[in-house]
Chain A
Amino acid sequence: MTRKAALVIGGGVAGIQASIDLAGMGIKVYLLEKKPSIGGRMAQLDKTFPTNDCSMCILAPKMIECSNHENIELLTYSELDELTGKAGKFKARIIKKARFVEEDKCVGCGECAEKCPTKVVDEFNAGLGQRKAIYKYFPQAVPSTYVIDTDHCRIFQGKKCGICKKICKANAINYKQKDKVLTLHIGAVLLATGFDLYDISPLTEYGWGKIKNVITAMQFERMMCASGPTGGHIKRPSDDREPARLAFIQCVGSRDIRHKRYCSAVCCMHATKEAILAHEHCPELVSKIFYMDMRAVGKGFQDYVRRAKSEYAVKYVRARPGRVIENEENQNPILNYEDTVNREFVAEEFDMVILSQALIPAESNLSIAEKIDVDIDEFGFISIPEALVNPSGTVKEGIFACGFCQAPMDVPDSVIRASAAASRVAEALSCYS
Chain B
Amino acid sequence: MSIRVGVFICHCGTNIGGIVNVQEAVEYARSLPNVIFAESNLYTCSENGLSSIRNKIKEYDLNRVVVASCTPRTHETLFRKNCELAGLNKYLFEFVNIREQCSWVHMKRHDDATLKAEDLVRMGVAKASLLTPQEDLSTDVIRACLVIGGGISGLSASMALANQGYHVELVEKKDKLGGLLRDVNMVFPTNESSENLLGPLIESVLEHKNIDVHLESELIDVKGFIGNFTATLRTDSKNEEIKTGTIIVSTGAAELKPEKMFGYGRFDNVMTQLDFEKKYKSDYHGLNRVVMINCVGARIEERTYCGRFCCITGMKNAVLLKQANPQADINILQRDIMAFGMVFEDYYRNALGAGIRFMRYNVDNLPEIMGSGNNAEKVRVYNELIGREVEIDVDLVILTTPLVPGKDNEKLSKMMRIPVGNDGFFLEAHQKLRPIEFPSDGIFVAGCARYPTEISECIAQGYAAAAKAAIPMAQGRVITDALISEVDPLRCSSCGRCINICPFGAIDWADRKAPSGETRKVALVNPAECKGCGLCVSSCLSGAIQLNGFNDEEILAMVNSVIESSEATF
Contacts and interface: CB of A to CB of B under 8 A. Distances in A.
A423 B308 contact: no
B306 to A, nearest CB: 5
A68 interface: yes
A419 B461 CA distance: 8
Interface in B456-478: 456-457, 459-468, 470-471, 474-475
A379 B342 contact: yes
A226 B463 contact: no
Contacts of B160: 423-424, 427
A306 B304 contact: yes
Interface stretch (B428-436, B506-514, B515-523, B557-565): B428-436
Contacts of A24: 471, 474-475
Interface in A55-114: 57-62, 64-65, 67-68, 107-109
Given A226-B14, A411-B432, A412-B431, A58 B340 contact: no
A61 B77 contact: yes
Contacts of B536: none
A328 B149 CA distance: 64
Contacts of B430: 51, 58
Contacts of B385: 340-341, 343
B431 A300 contact: yes
Contacts of A418: 464
B337 interface: yes
Interface stretch (A123-131, A152-160, A255-263): A255-263
B42 interface: yes
B460 A226 contact: no
A389 interface: yes
A416 B306 contact: no
Contacts of A421: 463
Interface in B326-366: 336-346, 349, 362
Contact of A297 (B14, B308, B425): B308
Contacts of B346: 261-262
A81 to B, nearest CB: 27
B165 interface: yes
Interface in B272-320: 299, 304-306, 308
Contacts of A108: 46-48
A139 B43 contact: yes
A227 B337 CA distance: 37
Contacts of A21: 467-468, 471
A31 interface: no
A265 B341 contact: yes
B475 A140 contact: no
A381 B342 contact: yes
Nearest to B462: A420
Given A388-B190, A426-B164, A416 B460 contact: yes
Interface stretch (A201-209, A240-248, A288-296): A288-296
Interface string B431-453: 11111100000000000001100
B432 A412 contact: yes
Interface residues of B, number: 76
Interface in A329-355: 340-341, 343
A6 B349 CA distance: 39
A296 B299 CA distance: 10
A391 B459 contact: yes
Interface in A177-192: none
Contacts of B190: 388
Interface in A385-433: 387-389, 391-392, 407-409, 411-413, 415-424, 426-427, 430-431
A419 B464 contact: yes
B387 interface: yes
B74 interface: yes
A150 interface: no
Contacts of A144: 46-48
Contacts of B470: 25, 423, 426
B163 interface: yes
A372 B476 CA distance: 35
Interface string B141-176: 000000000000000000010011100000000000
Contact of A430 (B165, B436, B451): B165
Contacts of B456: 387-388, 391
Contact of B74 (A17, A61, A294, A409): A61
B197 interface: yes
A302 B467 contact: no
A284 interface: no
Contact of B336 (A13, A262, A293, A412): A293
B521 to A, nearest CB: 41
Interface in B196-254: 197
A142 interface: yes
A341 B364 CA distance: 13
B75 interface: yes
B488 interface: no
Contacts of B425: 299
Nearest to A293: B336
Given A58-B74, A416-B461, A418-B464, 4 more contacts: A51-B430, A142-B47, A295-B338, A415-B435
Interface of B: 12-15, 18, 42-43, 45-48, 50-51, 70, 74-75, 77-78, 81, 85, 160, 163-165, 187, 189-190, 197, 299, 304-306, 308, 336-346, 349, 362, 384-385, 387, 425, 430-436, 450-451, 455-457, 459-468, 470-471, 474-475
26 contacts: A21-B471, A24-B475, A25-B467, A26-B474, A51-B432, A54-B15, A59-B433, A60-B45, A60-B46, A61-B78, A64-B50, A68-B81, A108-B46, A139-B46, A143-B47, A232-B14, A261-B349, A262-B341, A263-B340, A293-B338, A293-B339, A302-B304, A303-B304, A381-B342, A387-B456, A427-B164
Closest 3 CB pairs of A and B: A419-B464, A420-B463, A423-B467
